[in-house]
Amino acid sequence: MNRDVIVTCALTGAGDSVGRSEHVPVTPQQIAESAIEAARAGATVVHVHVRDPKTGRGSRETSLYREVVERIHASDVDVIINLTAGMGGDLQVRDADPTTPGPDTDLVGALVRLEHVEELRPELCTLDCGTLNFSDHDLIYVSTMEMLRAGARRIQELGVKPELEVFDTGHVWAANQLVAEGLIDDPPLYQFCTGIPYGTPAEPRMVQAMADLIPPGALWAAFAIGRMQMPMVAQAVLLGGNVRVGLEDNLYLSRGVKATNAQLVERARSIIELMGGRVLTPAEGRERLGLHPVARS
């Protein structure tokens, strides 16, 4: 069991959730305020996507990330900021014309996916470690090994720590290869993303299997989507890992009761403390993760 737990709050994501809950933050101000509330509730890390304020759809616009980061830094809270670098990997392959990308495609190269990371230099950013059938229809997330090597190398040069997002056991293999090639600084940090079609099921045995595959000394966290979010908090802690909650992955506190990010952090914290553990502060999280703190504006 892990008794000293890093809690990440994934604030908004890029999925089609805005119309399903009034608590999903959309504008940079709303996202920053939600991050600050999550930090006050006890989050060690906030994981940041941004959305187009007019449409609510996920965005790669650097200016939106900049506003979120500056608002968090200008607040009276300390929290580790983790910027997603997963946007720009979507490929829609339609059966009627598979050689022509569909209109939902947003596919760019590895370094373009990192433009906001290059400018803002957060303490953490994500690196999605493999290709996946990412929906029940015709959408694929594309992340080849050469894309991963290029992205990992640039993240390392920037002095940012990558959170290695793995959605299946083969992604663990890919992440391990990056570690073996010296593209990931110690200690590596893995995030086991479970319950997402069509990746790893949200099952304790699968989380344990992935934890068994990572290098000695590596750190890991796990999350599950939907109603499995809080059960996975308990399971990850029992298996020795860290946890993630938030509206990116789950909109409800209980059946029919819509949650805020702060409420989800509070619930996770209660579970951890009832199990005899505690949540690490951002300062303690930095020490555990071996981060290089950035100057606050």
Q: Quick: pLDDT tens for 236-258.
A: 999 999 999 999 999 999 999 99
Pairing between β-strand 139-141 and β-strand 132-133 as defined by DSSP bridges:
antiparallel
Q: Domain segments of the chain: what residues? A: 4-289
Closest by CA position to 54, among listed 68, 64, 62: 64
pTM, two decimals, is: 0.96
Pairing between β-strand 257-258 and β-strand 252-254 as defined by DSSP bridges:
antiparallel
The tens-digit pLDDT sequence of the chain (297 residues) is 999 999 999 999 999 999 999 999 999 999 999 999 999 999 999 999 999 999 999 999 999 999 999 999 999 999 999 999 999 999 999 999 999 999 999 999 999 999 999 999 999 999 999 999 988 889 999 999 999 999 999 999 999 999 999 999 999 999 999 999 999 999 999 999 999 999 999 999 999 999 999 999 999 999 999 999 999 999 999 999 999 999 999 999 999 999 999 999 999 999 999 999 999 999 999 999 999 765 554
Closest by CA position to 282, among listed 72, 61, 51, 68: 72
Q: Take residue 118 and report the two structure tokens written for it.
A: 């290059």
Q: Which fold has domain 4-289?
A: TIM Barrel (3.20.20)
